[in-house]
Amino acid sequence: SIPLGFFGGIGAASRSGILIKGSNYLEALNDVKVVVFDKTGTLTKGQFKVTGIYPSGGKSKDELLRTAAYAESHSNHPIAESIRTAYGEQISKEAISNYNEISGHGIEVTIEGKTVFAGNARLMEREGIAYEVPEQSGTVVHIAVDHQYEGYLVIADEVKEDSLQAIQRLKKLGIRKTVMLTGDASAVAEDVGKQLGVDEVHAELLPQHKVEAIEKLDRDKSPREKIIFVGDGINDTPVLARADVGIAMGGLGSDAAIEAADIVIMTDEPSKIAVAIGIAKRTRAIVW
Ligand code: ADP
Ligand code: MG
């Protein structure tokens, strides 16, 4: 039977906007020593804004932005939303066919009969398309039409106000290591990691690399110590399942992430992880 104290702990957590799916997860929080975060939407707001448009090969800014918005018309990635917002005009969906979202890379799509690629440097390299190296820091979306490079857009996200506090509180609770994993570019990831004081940053990861990163962290620690992974995206589901305690940010999170998680934070505040660990410690003090 489950000791009564656990129900008290789960109830206290739920009143703080933290949904714990079983007393075993509340108990496991006591032994967490490593906390691994996804970047976009977890430590950052996940609300991107287009901050620069750099056409190439004689195209205008308007033309480049239009191509990008058409390419991103079917995507629900926060990058895509920011591009559609910057474009601001109606998109004729009948111009678009063969839409294909390539995980960790971007989009391949046919627009008005032309093959368009919109995505990161890795996508351009995969397609053998020579691209420009950006002047401005930020997340970059390169555009190519029929394998001709047409330029790039720079997109910026902001760190959540709550994230710095989240990292600091975890350290005070005796968390040995904080880690950030992201598919985004190294320069962007390093910048966010420095702002927040995250111990380890791993960037330019494909979804399966995130699972491998958790497995490596698992091997490098003592068996008693537990690992949390905190994420919000559809791509994060395998990582949520692999961690000892998978936590989904429910505010922005995808249904798949909420389903796969052991704990759901109903707000967008990563500091709630420290709140949950605090509740776990008080619950253990009562139960044992
Ligand atoms: P994160 O780990 O930050 O959640 P994702 O795995 O969602 O990142 O995406 C990794 C990278 O793949 C993005 O930073 C971007 O460069 C590229 N990418 C993914 N989806 C898109 C898209 N719809 N349009 C352009 N680029 C994309
Ligand atoms: Mg993500």
Average pLDDT, the chain: 92
Residues with CB under 6 A from ligand 1: 38-40, 72, 75, 77, 79-80, 104-107, 118-120, 139, 141, 182-184, 233, 235
Given the CA of residue 38, which atom of ligand 1 is nearest to it?
2
Higher-confidence residue of 252 and 123: namely 123
Inter-residue contact 32 to 245 (CB < 8 Å): yes
Inter-residue contact 157 to 78 (CB < 8 Å): yes
Ligand nearest, relative to CA of residue 205: 1
Q: What is the ipTM of this complex?
A: 0.94
The residues annotated with a catalytic role in the active site are 38
Three-state DSSP at 112 gives coil
Given the CA of residue 104, which atom of ligand 1 is nearest to it?
12
> What's the confidence (pLDDT) of residue 252?
62
Q: Pick from 96, 120, 237 the residue to mutate for probing ligand 1's pocket: most ligand atoms within 8 Å of its CB.
A: 120
Residue 135 has pLDDT above 80, yes or no: no
Residues in a beta bridge with 181? 38, 202
Secondary structure letter of residue 221 according to DSSP: S
Atom 4 of ligand 1, nearest CA residue: 40
The strand pair at 32-38 and 177-181 is best described as parallel
Residue spans of beta strands (DSSP E) within the chain: 18-20, 32-38, 49-55, 96-102, 106-111, 114-119, 139-145, 148-156, 177-181, 200-202, 226-231, 245-249, 263-265
pLDDT single digits (tens) 183-219: 888 989 999 999 999 999 999 998 889 999 999 999 9
> What's the confidence (pLDDT) of residue 63?
97
Using CA atoms, how far apart are residues 209 and 39, in angstroms rounded to an integer?
A: 14
Using CA atoms, how far apart are residues 127 and 23, in angstroms rounded to an integer?
A: 49
Given the CA of residue 101, which atom of ligand 1 is nearest to it?
23
Give the pTM. 0.80
Q: Which residues contact 90 (CB under 8 A, 6 or more apart)?
A: none
Mapping DSSP onto H, E and C, the string for 251-281 reads: CCCCHHHHHHCCEEECCCCCCHHHHHHHHHH
Q: What is the mean pLDDT of residues 243-264?
A: 87
**Least confidently predicted of 7-11, 80-84, 237-241, 270-274:** 7-11
Atom 22 of ligand 1, nearest CA residue: 106
For the chain, which domains are there?
Answer: 4-45+159-287 (3.40.50.1000), 49-156 (3.40.1110.10)
Inter-residue contact 83 to 51 (CB < 8 Å): no
Distance 13 CA to ligand 1 centre (A): 32
Q: What is the mean pLDDT of residues 226-230?
A: 97
